[in-house]
Copies of this chain bind each other. A is one copy, B any other.
């Protein structure tokens, strides 16, 4: 950076601010000398930038602690990034519940909450429940709405770049919903909407089972499975945002619906909801033969869905999440069958984040957005889609 001269002075200031913020964020605190050294900027430049960042309340001086650095008279002033200068919100919109999680600008979670919602609720009812969950968690954490810098939301369905749900059969009234616009009414900051399985994949990569992997398939296993993929550490959304929407895969060739698949009688299971399925699994554990056969069929379908993703994408790691991840005996058959069908078997593991995955991923996407605004320096940060 030291070589930068001339050009647009406001751009230069922005770049220098980003460089200093980046350096401060990587350390507990730093002195002007340390910042000068790690950034390569001149001392007067660093002083000017730090003054500006303090005026913007993004940086604060750390009070000197007793007994430290007193050897040579006055200790060097130290500064730190004010992660509490702003907050982020991650939202999950599901068929049975809505959830919200709040973090500071370092992505440290300061609060979370959820509310149940009826699977048959209309879009308006569902969004009302979501707003109630958000109000709750903001009140409990004492975070003001003004402090929010970005909001991320994970939703079932194919989501356009502007947050419109192009197709969403999992929730009533969801297809065509301008979800982004509806959410934006509640916030002054940017709102980003992402497919739920995609968000969960991002979350597992950030702080879950996939922290050390850049080529990951996350399977949101439920009644109708969805998947999110990272390729080279980046979300693969597909040409039309529909990558990983494998819900229809099990229909192919066999024409079997989940209602038939999980039935323990000759009649389709109705209503087909998580409670009904949990009962089937409980009966299977108690030795009911027909229930055991239904569970076997369910797991076979999941194996089939996952195998298709693995054969198409060849990931390093498959993470199984969603409520089916909590069922006994999902993992072992998956590993066994993948080894049988795939030319190269990936590692298979369960989600570490569990129910928190979608909201956490949505939070990470909000954080990505803010980081680009605050910290992006042309040439040092790669472009995102």
Contacts and interface: CB of A to CB of B under 8 A. Distances in A.
Interface in A225-271: 227, 229, 231, 236-249, 251-254
Nearest to A213: B239
Interface stretch (A102-110, A134-142, A297-305, A327-335): A297-305
Interface residues of A, number: 43
A301 B251 CA distance: 13
Contact of A215 (B167, B227, B238, B309): B238
Contacts of A254: 253-254
Given A231-B231, A312-B313, A316-B239, A307 B344 contact: no
A341 interface: yes
A315 interface: yes
Contact of A344 (B240, B300, B309): B240
Given A252-B341, A341-B251, A237 B312 contact: no
A13 B227 CA distance: 49
Contacts of A166: 344
Contact of A312 (B167, B308, B343): B308
Given A242-B311, A246-B312, A308-B311, 9 more contacts: A158-B343, A166-B344, A238-B344, A239-B314, A240-B344, A246-B311, A251-B341, A252-B304, A253-B301
A-B CB proximity, top 7 nearest: A238-B314, A312-B312, A308-B308, A243-B314, A242-B344, A239-B316, A240-B344
